[in-house]
């Protein structure tokens, strides 16, 4: 019997891919009992694609189409087709800068996860670390959640707190939140891959 994990991840990203690296390396180390089946990006020269190729993982650039904040219908269909053909069990968003809609959400309902740089439901949307800093909170952090049709509104899987220091600026706070994401995201994906997570309404039950 093969020891290769059968739980398969499909990763979508638009940027450098630091969260992808944390997850891919955790898979390679056996911390996450899963394999990365495919890495997709809407940006042809995205760092996440380079990081995946360095690890000999399958990659694909899918042009996003005419819209600025979401995939057009053709791009969405192409993404869904590639992920289904790759036998993906869980879609992992790692800095993917487009909102998922329609058929994508229906095809992978309850099987799409994202990490957000705040303690949701506080500070959803863009540049959440700046929102937290401007608001004056003493602690913020990151949240791993399932993706639904809303903006950063899906059921929360896990959170990690990051203190806001008196001398923080947006960059320093963002860096520490990133570090927390790199710890939290692999832990949450590992729990899902082990079958330890169940959605009950808005609440997550750990089995």
Residue 109 DSSP class: T
Q: Which residue has the tokens 């913020």?
A: 140
pLDDT score at 1: 38
pLDDT score at 4: 67
- Does position 194 have pLDDT exceeding 90, yes or no? yes
Calpha distance 175→10 (Å, rounded): 25
- Does position 19 have pLDDT exceeding 90, yes or no? yes
For 45-55, write each residue's pLDDT tens digit. Answer: 999 999 999 99
202 pLDDT band (50/70/90 cuts)?
A: confident
pLDDT score at 106: 95
Q: Judge whether 116 counts as a catalytic residue.
A: yes
CA angle at residue 139 from 113 to 92, to 5 degrees?
A: 10
First to last CA, the chain: 26
pLDDT score at 205: 87
Residue closest to 65 by CA, chosen among 76, 51, 52, 81: 76
- Does position 121 have pLDDT exceeding 80, yes or no? yes
> Which domains does the chain possess?
8-197 (3.40.50.170)
Q: Of the residues 116, 145, 174, 182, which is catalytic?
A: 116
Residue 149 DSSP class: S
Average pLDDT for 52-64: 97
């Amino acid at each position: 019997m093969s020891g290769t994990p059968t739980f398969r991840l499909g990763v979508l990203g638009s940027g450098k891919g630091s969260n992808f690296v944390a997850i891919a390396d955790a898979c390679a180390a056996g911390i996450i009992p899963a394999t990365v089946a495919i890495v997709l990006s809407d940006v042809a020269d995205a760092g996440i694609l380079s990081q995946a190729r360095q690890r000999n993982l399958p990659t694909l650039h899918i042009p996003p189409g005419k819209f600025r904040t979401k995939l057009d219908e053709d791009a969405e269909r192409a993404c869904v087709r590639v992920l289904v053909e790759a036998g993906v069990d869980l879609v992992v968003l790692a800095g993917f800068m487009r909102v998922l809609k329609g058929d994508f959400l229906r095809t992978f309902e309850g099987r799409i996860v994202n990490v957000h740089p705040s303690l949701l439901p506080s500070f959803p949307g863009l540049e959440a670390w700046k929102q937290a800093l401007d608001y004056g909170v003493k602690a913020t952090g990151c949240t791993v959640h399932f993706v639904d049709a809303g903006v950063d509104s899906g059921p929360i899987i896990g959170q990690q707190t990051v203190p806001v220091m008196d001398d923080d600026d947006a960059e320093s706070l963002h860096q520490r939140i990133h570090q927390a994401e790199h710890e939290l995201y692999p832990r949450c994906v590992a729990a899902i891959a082990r079958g330890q997570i169940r959605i009950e309404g808005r609440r997550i039950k750990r089995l």
